[in-house]
């Protein structure tokens, strides 16, 4: 189903994001910051949804790719330093961060995507942690004390513009002829293979694409918070993103976006929530799997058989 | 002699990994999924020991042998109950659902136990000192220094392994376990109470995890709610290394991993990568011999 007028929506979305961004100086800075967080969360959740949801390859290492992209683009920004018009390089540094993250995604994906289910989950978790440990021991990016004084280039326009682009690219990809392969792999790998789909290639493509956007989200995050620390990218962060995907319903783009917005806003507006956040997330995961495995926003009548 | 010293330390560590790995591998045998919450049951065992030890110490006298045995039994019983409860509430309703659903639930259960434990109203995230269960002595054998803890760990493990062998090979329940592991449907048709067998398997695995948790805590300087993650992960690697679903394999994998880790830790070049070793082995074994050292390769039937 090629979305009708999808390109128009894309342009409209970007135009809106840029327009809002022009007036953003008048908004409360706190709310503005939260809004940027929401945009970044949408990118992360949508990109993980491609891997975990559409393609059905359960990955627990998304924060690792986010870390790679974030650190790389922040490092570029710091190297260029306070040159005039340095902000002009910002999209390029984001792109570079995304590309490096996708390269790491390729390196991780090729060996680990031969595995399935439980094994894949634990190996991606391991790789995510290995990435974090490597960052923690790299002096060039501040090692354990973190990377400070990153210029603040991320605006509302960038965050939401790129979120729109991410959603557009991933839904177009999934809805294309090629992208049907992702869903075929998700539904039945053996049947997909018998129908001539190169399943390994499909899985690696999903993984690399997801890692690319995670890297971009990392870059946005770095230039938004202006500070990166390796502990911010541990497995708890990966779980955060996984919960968004599960809550929204794996493979349901609209649901995942809604879940990303909801779960980013909740800790901001419920102060007492922070202490119990992870406990509630854990309970949410269990209850959703028991009662609504297709996500909170799913229509229970229409059940799609999954493998 | 340095070599022998390291081998003894490694054996002590490997014995603990073996006990934990048995739980992973037994549950995999009957349910074909990895119980992510197993490492947290280990942590709960250690905390049960922490709370039970002073009370039992009052009863039987501090650092007495009866007291120590009682602590082990209490922790094993509590954790067996917890393991069976987890299976009943979280896993049994999902028995016939897609594997991914069960996997996500298992991760959820693991997170729930960890973060509930970290909450200040429960154990709190600060490390706590584990009480001494038995007087600690070190024996000098030639140039070797053998701590009583290592001897205790290895002895307890050997006793438990013999008990396990007896349960699995000689009792009715053990036969039923093997039947369910071989073919669940056929076992059910032959009148094996599959639900009870699975419940028993969880109980047995969790009891072993609890004992491993206490043995681990006796060596560790302190315990905290995330203490299970590292040994749990390594025991999982041990189970895969030996061939998941294979009981002797789990023991072999555990001992091998304990030895490897200790020797790597003793080597000054490798010691910084000590934590990465388990994952490196896991990735290598999954890529080159996914069935493990003692496992048989299975053919995927379409």
Nearest in space to A65 (alpha carbons), one of A79, A44, A91, A90: A44
Instruction: Look at residue A1 in the predicted model and tell me its pLDDT.
Output: 43
Give dist(CA A209, CA A224) in Å, integer. 23
Out of B34, B103, B111, name the one closest to residue A278 (CB): B111
Most confident of A214-218, A296-300, B261-265: A214-218
A281 in contact with B at a CB cutoff of 8 Å? yes
DSSP state of A144: G
CA atoms within 13 A on the CB side of B171: 11
Give dist(CA B202, CA B84) in Å, integer. 6
Instruction: Look at residue B109 in the predicted model and tell me its pLDDT.
Output: 94
pLDDT band (50, 70, 90) for residue B265:
confident
Q: Do B108 and A275 touch (CB under 8 A)?
A: no
Q: Is it the case that residue A302 has pLDDT exceeding 60?
A: no
User: Which residue of chain A comes nearest to B98, CA vs CA?
Assistant: A307
Q: Do A121 and B236 touch (CB under 8 A)?
A: no
For residue B1, give both structure tokens. 């002699």
CA angle B184, B190, B191 (to 5 degrees): 95
Tell which of B86, B108, B122, B233 to mutate to test the A interface (max A CBs under 10 Å).
B108
Give dist(CA A220, CA B134) in Å, integer. 55
Q: Is it the case that residue A245 has pLDDT exceeding 70?
A: yes
Q: For the beta carbon of residue A258, count every other beta carbon within 10 angstroms.
A: 20
Phi, then psi, of B256 in degrees rounded to 5:
-60, -45
B104 in contact with A at a CB cutoff of 8 Å? yes
Give the distance from residue B1's alpha carbon to the nearest chain A alpha carbon, in angstroms: 34
Give dist(CA B20, CA B23) in Å, integer. 5
Average pLDDT over residues B130-154: 83
Q: For the beta carbon of residue A96, count every other beta carbon within 10 angstroms.
A: 18
Alpha carbon distance, N-terminus to C-terminus of chain A: 23
Q: Which residues have CB under 8 Å from B99's CB, separation 6+?
A: A117, A118, A307, B32, B33
Nearest in space to B15 (alpha carbons), one of B199, B242, B253, B177: B253
Strands B144-147 and B222-223, sheet pairing: unpaired
Give dist(CA B182, CA B117) in Å, integer. 36
Give dist(CA B246, CA B254) in Å, integer. 12
* Structure ipTM: 0.82
User: Which residue of chain A comes nearest to B302, CA vs CA?
Assistant: A190
Q: For the beta carbon of residue A82, count every other beta carbon within 10 angstroms.
A: 7
Average pLDDT over residues B290-301: 73
Stronger pLDDT, A193 or A19, i.e. the higher one: A193
Give dist(CA A154, CA A35) in Å, integer. 11
Per-residue model confidence as pLDDT tens digits over B13-69: 999 999 999 999 999 888 888 898 999 999 999 999 999 988 988 888 778 888 899
Average pLDDT over residues A242-264: 88
Nearest in space to A182 (alpha carbons), one of A167, A168, A198: A198
For residue A83, give both structure tokens. 């040159």
Out of A117, A129, A275, name the one closest to residue B103 (CB): A117
pLDDT band (50, 70, 90) for residue A299:
low
**CA distances (Å), A243 to each of A129, A159, A281, in order?**
18, 21, 7
Out of B104, B115, B236, name the one closest to residue A278 (CB): B115
Q: Do B119 and A290 touch (CB under 8 A)?
A: no
Instruction: Look at residue B273 in the predicted model and tell me its pLDDT.
Output: 63
Q: Which residues of B touch A279 (CB under 8 A)?
A: 112, 115-116, 119
Mean pLDDT, chain A, as a whole number? Answer: 84
For residue B34, give both structure tokens. 């990895």
B226 in contact with A at a CB cutoff of 8 Å? no
Per-residue model confidence as pLDDT tens digits over A8-46: 777 777 777 777 777 766 777 788 888 889 999 999 999
User: Which residue of chain B comes nearest to A122, CA vs CA?
Assistant: B233
Average pLDDT over residues B97-124: 88
Average pLDDT over residues B170-190: 92
Give the distance from residue B140's alpha carbon to the nearest chain A alpha carbon, in angstroms: 39
Give dist(CA A294, CA B87) in Å, integer. 22
**CB contact residues (below 8 A), chain A span 9-38, against chain B:** none
Q: Is it the case that residue B72 has pLDDT exceeding 80?
A: yes
User: Which residue of chain A comes nearest to B301, CA vs CA?
Assistant: A190
Stronger pLDDT, A4 or A44, i.e. the higher one: A44
A119 in contact with B at a CB cutoff of 8 Å? yes
B105 in contact with A at a CB cutoff of 8 Å? yes
Alpha carbon distance, N-terminus to C-terminus of chain B: 55
Beta bridge partners of B146: B139
């Amino acid at each position: 189903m090629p979305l009708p007028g999808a390109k128009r929506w894309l342009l409209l979305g970007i135009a809106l994001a840029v327009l809002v961004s022009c007036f953003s100086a008048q908004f409360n800075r706190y709310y503005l910051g939260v809004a940027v967080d929401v945009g970044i969360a949408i990118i992360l959740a949508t990109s993980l949804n491609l891997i975990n949801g559409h393609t059905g390859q359960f990955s627990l290492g998304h924060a690792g790719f986010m870390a790679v992209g974030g650190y790389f683009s922040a490092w570029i920004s710091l190297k260029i330093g306070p040159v005039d018009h340095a902000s002009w390089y910002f999209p390029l540094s984001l792109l570079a961060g995304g590309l490096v993250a996708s390269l790491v995604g390729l390196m991780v994906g090729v060996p680990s995507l031969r595995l399935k289910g439980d094994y894949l989950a634990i190996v991606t978790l391991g790789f995510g942690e290995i990435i974090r440990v490597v960052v923690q021991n790299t002096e060039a990016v501040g090692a354990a004390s973190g990377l400070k004084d990153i210029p603040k280039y991320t605006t509302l326009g960038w965050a939401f513009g790129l979120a729109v682009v991410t959603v557009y690219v991933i839904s177009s990809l999934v809805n294309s002829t090629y992208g049907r392969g992702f869903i075929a792999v998700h539904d039945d790998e053996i049947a997909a293979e018998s129908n001539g789909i190169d399943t390994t290639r499909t899985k690696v493509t999903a993984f690399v694409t997801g890692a690319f956007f995670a890297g971009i989200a990392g870059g946005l995050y770095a230039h938004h918070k202006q500070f990166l620390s390796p502990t911010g990218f541990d497995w708890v962060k990966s779980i955060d993103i996984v919960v968004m995907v599960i809550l929204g319903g794996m493979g349901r783009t609209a649901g995942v976006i809604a879940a990303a917005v909801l779960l980013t806003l909740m800790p901001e507006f419920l102060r007492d929530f922070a202490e119990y956040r992870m406990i509630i997330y854990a309970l949410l995961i269990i209850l959703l799997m028991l009662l609504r495995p297709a996500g909170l926003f799913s229509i229970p009548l229409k059940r799609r058989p999954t493998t | 002699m340095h070599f022998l010293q390291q081998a003894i330390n490694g054996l002590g560590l490997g014995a603990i990994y073996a006990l934990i790995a048995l739980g992973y591998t037994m549950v995999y045998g009957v349910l074909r999924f990895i119980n992510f919450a197993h490492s947290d049951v280990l942590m709960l065992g250690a905390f049960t020991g922490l709370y039970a030890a002073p009370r039992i110490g009052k009863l039987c006298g501090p650092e007495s042998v009866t007291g120590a045995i009682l602590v082990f039994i209490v922790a094993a019983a509590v954790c067996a109950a917890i393991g069976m409860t987890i299976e009943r509430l979280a896993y049994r309703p999902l028995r016939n659902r897609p594997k991914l659903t069960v996997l996500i639930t298992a991760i959820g259960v693991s997170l729930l136990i960890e973060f509930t434990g970290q909450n200040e109203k429960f154990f709190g995230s600060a490390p706590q000192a584990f009480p001494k269960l038995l007087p600690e002595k070190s024996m000098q054998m030639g140039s070797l220094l053998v701590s009583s803890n290592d001897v205790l760990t290895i002895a307890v493990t050997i006793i438990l392994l013999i008990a396990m062998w007896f349960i699995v090979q000689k009792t009715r329940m053990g036969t039923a376990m093997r039947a369910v592991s071989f073919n669940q449907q056929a076992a059910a048709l032959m009148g094996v109470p599959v639900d009870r067998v699975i419940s028993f398997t969880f109980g047995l695995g969790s009891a072993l995890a609890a004992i491993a948790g206490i043995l681990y805590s006796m060596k560790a300087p302190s315990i905290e709610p995330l203490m299970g993650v590292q040994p749990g992960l390594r025991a999982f690697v041990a189970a895969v290394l030996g061939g998941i679903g294979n009981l002797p394999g789990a023991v072999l994998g555990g001992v091998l991993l304990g030895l490897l880790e200790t020797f790597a830790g003793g080597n000054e070049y490798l010691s910084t990568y000590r934590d990465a070793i388990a994952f490196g082995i896991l990735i290598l074994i999954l890529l080159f011999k996914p069935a493990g050292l003692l496992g048989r390769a299975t053919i995927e039937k379409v």
